[in-house]
Structure 1
Amino acid sequence: MRQVTAMRWRTAGLLFAVFVIVTLPYLITRGGSQQSLNAGELVTRSAEIQALVYRIADQTHDSESAVQHLLANDPYSHAEVTAQNAGKTVPALLDELHRLSADNPAQQHLVDQLNAKENGRLALLQQALQRYQQNDRAGADQALSDAGALFQIDDIAEKIVDNAEQQLQLRRESAKQRSVDNRLVLALTAAMQLLMLMIVVVVSERQIGRRLRAEIRERQAVQRSQMILQAVREPIALLDNSLRTLQVNAAFSELYGVSEDSRAEYLDEVGQGAWADEVLQQRLRDVLLRDRELWDFELIQRTIDGVERHVVINARCLQQQDSEKPALLLTVSDVTARALVEQQVKELNHQLESKVAQISDVNRELEAFSYSVSHDLRAPLRHITAFTQKLELHQGIGVDETTRHYLGVIRDAAQRMAQLIEDLLVFSRLGRGALRLQAVDMQSLVEETRTLAESEVPDRCIEWQIEPLPVVVGDENMLRTVWQNLIGNAVKYTGQCKVARIEISVWRNDAGDYEFTVADNGAGFDMRYVDKLFGVFQRLHKASEFPGNGIGLANVQRIVTRHGGKAWAEGEPGHGARFHFTLSGVEAPTPDGWLSS
């Protein structure tokens, strides 16, 4: 009885000793491994930051190079798609770079600077591409030049890379030191485990029992894996190094007519030649011989049911436990529906491009026609005016009142026609000239326009309410024309008010753009005719009530549209009008950062 009790105590003490000897090295090893993993993760993060910076710079330069090729009439394949790639991929890469640098305030500051310059550069790059598509090559070239001059990214990218390199070096040294510590811990652990081997012999029978139970669990796991493989609806096959089938699942068998129990059937004989493609056969052999992977190989197959399918094939090499020869795991994805949709999208895009080209040609022809007609009409008008004056001189002071009236009507009509032609030429030039982008202080433009408008009507009482206005990126002369037309209209159409009230305000909409508003308490207009308001020579009031040619708002809309914004109006007869226009909310750099265009 005492012997049994002693044996039990010895067994309990042995188990306790084994527990201490095994657990202590495990905990030490686990802690060291976790530290090594953390160090390795930091090293990897530094390398990823460097790779992301280079990728952002490469994407930006590739897109700019594509635009340059387009402007040089030397486009390569997919040049226009490449030109748009930066705008699609760089913002996501910048977000990822910002996330990876979250643990380094100095590096994140540099990333924020890179983000700001990339946004400005991409905005001008997109503007250059839009102008190229509008056949405005001079404007596109100017925008591309401004992008490179105003938003330098290489220096900041180099600083980020240098910072990451410094961090990478420090983290590598830390990882190296921790690796040495881990090796020391592992050596001590190995020594203790060798000591345990003498004790483990005593409990070998228990280990054998555990092994038997483990084998049972392994067999059960294999059975479960087989069940899962057969339940997957994606065709899967396992091939030997001669491309003969070792095992296929139910989906593969159903699609290609192969028995699930079949063995040693060559792949090119499966499915009545569905796998006989020589290129695919060679790629699969390369996977086996060079231990590579095959990703997304697209192929059109006629399967056993006689249907042509678009499939995507993936393959990788596996090492078999019971053989030195590798095996090939083959998976097939049916993407027929996606291929049909992509084909339809391509056809629709082609049709859309044709329509856009036709519209662009028509617009260019209309603009050229307008410009030519305006110039050709000037000469006859000068003749009419000149000969009217000569006729007045020829008639002398003895001309009767009726004749003088008729001559005055002819002269006034010719002058009005000349003014209309001049307005038409200005309207035409607004659509052709290149934008000279710079930082524009909207507050200064409004104050300048307000002073000019008040000087023309010194005897009127006008109450102004002007909110603080921002600095925007745009063409200063064109934006001055916008304010002159809108403020001039507000002053003109409040001419019948005893006290005119004009309000100028701004706010940022949900898209982040600035929305400017000019409101007055003047004559207003009927919203039923708002569509005519921004048309060329379209007027909603009689010339006898309010002078003008009806082209000012058309100029406003054209300028705002060229800046990427939109213009619209609201009004009510007798209760004033509100004119709105939007401009991009991209922050303008400091004046020192601008170069003269």
Structure 2
Amino acid sequence: MKADPLHTLSLLEGILSDLEAQTDLRDILQRITDGYLHLFDCNTVGIVLNDDRRKLCRVVGLSNRSGLLPEIDRILGFSLKELTIPTDRKVNETIERVKRGEVIVFHRLCELFYPLISKKVCEQLEQRSQSRCYMVAPITSDDKIVGGIFASHSRSEVSELDLRSIRLIAGVVGLVIKNRMLIEDIRKSEQRFRILVEESTIPLIILQEERVVFANQAFTKLSGYPSSELLALDKRELLGLIHPDDQILWKSQLNVLPRGQAIELRLIRKNGEARWVSVFISPITYHEQVAIQITFIDINEKKENELELRRYQEQLEELVTKKTEQLNIRIEEVEKLNRAMLNLLEDYKAVNEGLTELAKKLHDSNEDLEAFTFTVSHDLRAPLRAVEGFAHAIVEDAGERLDPATREYCDRIITAAQHMEGLIDDLLKYSRIGRREITLSPIALEEVLTEVMGAFQMEIKDKKARVEIERPLPVVLAHRATLTQVLSNLLSNALKFHKDGIQPWVRIRVEPYGSRVRIYVEDNGIGIDPKDHKRIFRLFERLHGIESYPGTGVGLAIVKRGVEQMGGKVGLDSEPGRGSRFYLELRRYLQVEDET
């Protein structure tokens, strides 16, 4: 039987309504089993959930056609809803496979329930229910299997739609369970916050929509006003409790809501007495709405009590801030889950179509890139070398007979050809980094830097540069050839873009960064304007003319693509005239990873 999309949407809308109304979890799961039973023409549908404390599974939702449940209970000798399945030991292979996350299709009831139910009773149940095919799917919440869903059919075989439907409903149940857990966490957090505030010895009030909505007993004692009178005050009337000379300060602080900053002013008690208090004002979430919490500390008391009161206030401030952040996160997650449930069916189809189209585009793009690389390698480089060779031949053969202008033209041809060949080399490197499949392995940074320094030995000597490497150096997860190319490009730039008349200085060092490391390449060069920090990593981007600093504008693009291919990040700190500090962020290799 094919499910009616309208009925399916109606079922999902009903589940969402139950979630918004905070309906009991068992009622929601019972509604799901009832809906699934009728939508997909099942004989019986049941949901079981883990009870970790008792180490067993319990039936929490059960639906059956034609009122067969009393007859089934009679055959069993007990209520099917009281059936429990142990989770701390192996019952049978079918249940073990479900625990491993498999969707199981079988034709004999004893495959699921034996030895919990005898084979003879299983056969009687099969005959009475007229079921010929059964399915069981695991229910997962937060990547943990928390139960299962069972469905039986009169048909001898199940269709692809049946399999997809039970997976879908299992997914929906998992989301419902996670939603319930989040709502319970929010409820408990609100309860703890409410108890903390109500029983606090620190006087405080809460303003919401410019009215006093809460005043604890400590504040009623401090002010002398009963709670009934305080809860009738609006923002303007509350101002009457502040000394006239301090009202401007009160209003200014209430407008800016300084978090954690104390102000000192005089509170007018009901008997007319003015008492100096230290006031803290902070925004909070109260009953899921924005509010303002105002706490008062009586500083007329002895100085020895002042430090203790301040410590309690800071603890309360920290707790309120933490719980507010947690509440906001939980509420946002609940909203995301609700939206995800509404878009589940539509997103599934869109993802499949998108993946197919993306695979085709990627295949076409790789073919185009391979064709381009072939053209650059064979069709451009050969004539370019011929031009450079002829120019060299003219200079060597006609040398002294060439007038200065002609000699200059030949030199320009040679320089341009060499620049073009360098550009082609860089483009081929950039193309290869983008196309090739790379495998990350443990790479000793010491060995890579030794290789790079050897390649630049002559240039460092010619420029009288000072290159410092801070040791020891770690082992990182990287691709050796790619990492060598990246560090070579960064060292080349550091030696190239230096100030005239100043000895080039380069320092290479490594700092831990969580589970990663940052490899810094620092120099005392000309520096880079912050507005150009992102731009220089794009292909063909140059900040200086080729006559000032030679290059192709591809080097840093190769660096960025290479680091990203290795699952890392690249960044830069620099200002004009103050040098540059590039960094690569890569995974640090730990011995435990290899053993695992």
Task: Pick the structure with more helix per residue.
Answer: 1
Bigger relative CO (Cα 8 Å, ≥ 6 apart): 1
TM over 0.5: no
| TM-score, with structure 1 as normaliser | 0.43
| TM-score, with structure 2 as normaliser | 0.43
Q: Which has the higher Rg, Structure 1 or Structure 2?
A: 1
Task: Pick the structure with more strand per residue.
Answer: 2
